[in-house]
Structure 1
Amino acid sequence: MASSSTPPPPAEETESRNWAELPRDVTAMILKKVGVVDILQSAQKVCMAWRSISKDPALWRSIDMRNCGDDLWDDMAFDVEKMATHAIDRSCGQLLEFTFGGFGSDELLRYIGERASQLRRLQLVYPYSISDEGLIEAARKLPLLEELHIYYGFLSKEALLNVGRCCPLLKSLKFNNRGFRAPHMEYDDEALAIAETMPGLHQLQLFGNNLTNDGLKAILDGCPNLESLDLRHCFNVNLGGTLGRRCSEQIKHLRRPHDSTDDLMFLIMGSSFSTTNILYRCNSSSGGGKLHPTGIFSANICSFGRRYL
């Protein structure tokens, strides 16, 4: 029996697609999905039309360099921080959101402060080479900042105090530092700094923090607009009795110390990683591990984070 399906037309009759003829707004949407590195390394070289779109400041209002890929860590032909400065330059002062992880320095933060004073949201993932002084200097130049999210990084009380004073519009703070201190060490300095200088907060996430009930009470007193509070893995906090009732009444969205962490972004440091591992950070000049005095990474954590950030 003869097949009822129609054979495909010869190759020469098949209409070719000219990607350069796509509407400009459609191409811009495609390039946004491509990502910073691929735009700068490849996409902008496809044709003149794509290069023109790649230079449009509107394309660079939100820069996410979290998922740079293993090639950026293993192939040193790529200078990730230099790419970041190129991306910032292309925003022409219109940058509103910036996220980077596993790289960065005080110099990069300084560059953001100088070139992106309109920034509203800053996310730092594993900011192992950023100092308190670097963040304080940047905060002084980012008065419009509304969201600061720091995943697995150190901040002193002084740094938090300065961020709060320099960024009066701050509405969302995520300061997740699981694994940096002994699990049951009591430490309220960070909570007190937040309570003292961030009265406008609506959202606060302190995953793995060592604050106590005293620090929590200070936050509830000092941040009257707080609607969302995430205290998962804050095991020094006891939400029984009066304090628990107050949290339930004052906070619309409350995550308690023992609540599930299944939906938590960047949950890298957990019980599956041995605390006895030698602590390392990624060494961008050699691709291997280098002993880091602050002890933020272990070699296996760094490898895991590279793949899943």
Structure 2
Amino acid sequence: MLPPIKLCASKSDGQKAKNHKSVPKEKMKSPILLCASKLDRQKARNHKPVPKVKESTRNWLDLPSDLAVNILHRVGVIDILENAQKVCTTWHKICKEPAMWRVVHMDTALGSLTRSQLQKICKNVVDRNQRQLADISLLGFCNNVLLKYIAERSSHLRRLEISRCYGNLNQTWTKALKKFSSLEELSLHKTEISAEAIETLGRHCPLLKILKVNLDPPQFLNKTRENLSIAIGKNLHELRHLELIGNGMTNIGLEAILDGCRHLEALDLHICFYVSLKSTGLWKRCLRQIKYVKFPENCLDGCPYKVENDNASKDGQYPNLCRTCALTATEPSLYLRRHQ
């Protein structure tokens, strides 16, 4: 048997293999350089990356003053006085400007401050606006002293809103309204106003176009009050919008309003239980004369001050009434439009 053949290189070949130096492989050119022209390849090799520019930070102090005022208005009166004006000297200066306090909204429900504390803050705000106050809402803490204070320092007031008045304002209304010659809107909720005050409105507030006197549902079905509605018809001939939610007038008062307020475009008679429209045909006159009408049986959905009268249905005083708004829920529409 023949010996096996060795499959190996000779001694001299192995020595050559050891002494062989490997040739470095040529680096792979990028696809862009392979397909680009010679000039483009040269530009690509010489290209240096552009350093990233850091984004500049915004300085809130550099905002235009009118934009800063717009932002601060959304904060609220209490937060402005207690926090925002202390942030920096720029904001403190803006908060001192009278134009900052031309529109004021204060509500006891938005914080833990007492009525006396809110009254003190309100006086401070009135002093800051330097007789430039145009619109003010006082919800839950206004009294005679505060109303008098505002009247003596706000001759250019165009809108006044008072809700859940603290005390009876009848002794102050007449004197205060004489100084509101620019008043265009008076909005009252759970706040009484007398017929004498309505006469003063007619004499001294010729620009008045909107009047809202909204009360809770009457507690007794035999208690009617015509004096307010009759005074409105006799003295406020230029009214465009009238709300008398919960008023105790009858058809007599409604006829006085329809006769005297010929320019009226919107009338709200929610929970005016003593008004009888269907039996007398007054509802036809309302629709014919007034563009928008809310009848007593309409639901209060959408009203900013929804009346809560949970005892109405319990006591049997107002049967078939909705527990949340003390109204019948048979008519869901808010407005009945003329010719609709």
Q: Same fold per TM (> 0.5)?
A: yes
% same residue: 39
Alignment of 1:147 with 2:188, yes or no, is no
The residue number in structure 1 matching 2:31 is none
Alignment of 1:270 with 2:305, yes or no, is no
- Identify which range, 177-186 or 221-230, moves more after superposition: 177-186
The residue number in structure 1 matching 2:258 is 220
Please give the alpha-carbon distance, in whole angstroms, between the structure 2 residues aligned to 1:133 and 1:154. Answer: 11
Alignment of 1:137 with 2:175, yes or no, is yes
- Do 2:108 and 2:140's aligned partners in 1 also have CA atoms closer than 8 Å? no
> How is 1:159-178 mapped onto 2 (pairs within 5 angstroms)?
159-178=197-216
Q: CA RMSD in A?
A: 2.3
- Do 1:133 and 1:159's aligned partners in 2 also have CA atoms closer than 8 Å? no
SS of 1:128 mapped into structure 2: coil
Output one character per residue of 1:232-259: Cα deviation in whole Å (capped at 9) or x when no partner.
1111112224311110010001001011
Please give the alpha-carbon distance, in whole angstroms, between the structure 2 residues aligned to 1:67 and 1:16. Answer: 39
Please give the alpha-carbon distance, in whole angstroms, between the structure 1 residues aligned to 2:258 and 2:195. Answer: 18
For 2:84, which of 39, 43, 49 is the aligned residue?
A: 43
SS of 1:191 mapped into structure 2: helix
Please give the alpha-carbon distance, in whole angstroms, between the structure 1 residues aligned to 2:123 and 2:218. Answer: 30
Task: Give structure 2 stretches of 5+ with no counterpart.
Answer: 1-53, 316-340
- Do 2:85 and 2:92's aligned partners in 1 also have CA atoms closer than 8 Å? yes
Closer/same/farther in 2, CA of residues 188 and 43 from structure 1, 3 Å limit: same
- Do 1:203 and 1:226's aligned partners in 2 also have CA atoms closer than 8 Å? yes
Instruction: Report the Cα offset of residue 273 of structure 1.
Output: 7.6
The residue number in structure 1 matching 2:133 is 95
Q: How many residues align?
A: 261
The residue number in structure 2 matching 1:197 is 235
Instruction: Report the Cα offset of residue 107 of structure 1.
Output: 1.6
- Do 2:217 and 2:247's aligned partners in 1 also have CA atoms closer than 8 Å? no
The residue number in structure 1 matching 2:27 is none
- Do 2:265 and 2:291's aligned partners in 1 also have CA atoms closer than 8 Å? yes
Output one character per residue of 1:22-59: Cα deviation in whole Å (capped at 9) or x when no partner.
33222111100001111111110110000111112222
Instruction: Report the Cα offset of residue 265 of structure 1.
Output: 1.1
Please give the alpha-carbon distance, in whole angstroms, between the structure 2 residues aligned to 1:265 and 1:38. Answer: 24
Please give the alpha-carbon distance, in whole angstroms, between the structure 2 residues aligned to 1:275 and 1:187. Answer: 25
Please give the alpha-carbon distance, in whole angstroms, between the structure 2 residues aligned to 1:101 and 1:249. Answer: 36
For 2:113, which of 62, 65, 72 is the aligned residue?
A: 72
- Do 1:195 and 1:219's aligned partners in 2 also have CA atoms closer than 8 Å? yes
Please give the alpha-carbon distance, in whole angstroms, between the structure 1 residues aligned to 2:123 and 2:91. Answer: 20
SS of 2:264 mapped into structure 1: coil
- Do 1:104 and 1:130's aligned partners in 2 also have CA atoms closer than 8 Å? no
Instruction: Report the Cα offset of residue 69 of structure 1.
Output: 1.9
Please give the alpha-carbon distance, in whole angstroms, between the structure 1 residues aligned to 2:307 and 2:94. Answer: 36
The residue number in structure 1 matching 2:281 is 242
Alignment of 1:32 with 2:83, yes or no, is no
Task: Give structure 1 stretches of 5+ with no counterpart.
Answer: 1-12, 277-309
- Do 1:179 and 1:269's aligned partners in 2 also have CA atoms closer than 8 Å? no
Closer/same/farther in 2, CA of residues 183 and 62 from structure 1, 3 Å limit: farther
The residue number in structure 2 matching 1:3 is none
The residue number in structure 2 matching 1:122 is 160
Please identify the structure whose Cα radius of gyration is greater.
2
Please give the alpha-carbon distance, in whole angstroms, between the structure 2 residues aligned to 1:184 and 1:149. Answer: 27
Please give the alpha-carbon distance, in whole angstroms, between the structure 2 residues aligned to 1:32 and 1:59. Answer: 8
SS of 2:74 mapped into structure 1: helix
Output one character per residue of 1:190-213: Cα deviation in whole Å (capped at 9) or x when no partner.
101111111111100000111111
Scaled by the length of structure 1, the TM-score of the pair is: 0.78
